[in-house]
Amino acid sequence: MIGVTSQISTGTTGEQGNIGIGFAIPVNIVRNVAAQIIKNGKVAHAFLGVSTVSITPQIAKLFNLPTSKGVIVDQVTKDSGAKHAGLKGHSTNVVVQGETYPLGGDIIVSADHQPVTTAEQLREAVARHKPGDKISLGIYRDGKKKSVTVTLGNAPEATQ
CATH number at residue 69: 2.30.42.10
Domain range for residue 18?
Answer: 3-40
For 157, which DSSP code?
G
Q: Are residues 10 and 66 in the same domain?
A: no
> What mean pLDDT is predicted for residues 29-40?
76
Give 97: exposed, middle or buried? Use CB within 10 Å, 0-12, 13-18, 19+.
exposed
For residues 26 and 98, state if they share a domain. no
Please state, as a whole number, how many other Cβ atoms lie within 10 Å of the Cβ of residue 96: 10
Same domain? For 153 and 105 the reply is yes
Same domain, 50 and 36: no
Question: How many independent structural domains does the chain possess?
Answer: 2
Give yes or no: residues 63 and 136 share one domain.
yes
- Least confident segment among 25-39, 59-73, 110-124, 142-156: 25-39
Q: What pTM value is reported for the model? A: 0.76
pLDDT tens-digit profile of 5-17? Answer: 666 666 655 556 5
Q: Give the tens place of pLDDT for each residue, 137-152.
A: 999 999 999 999 999 9
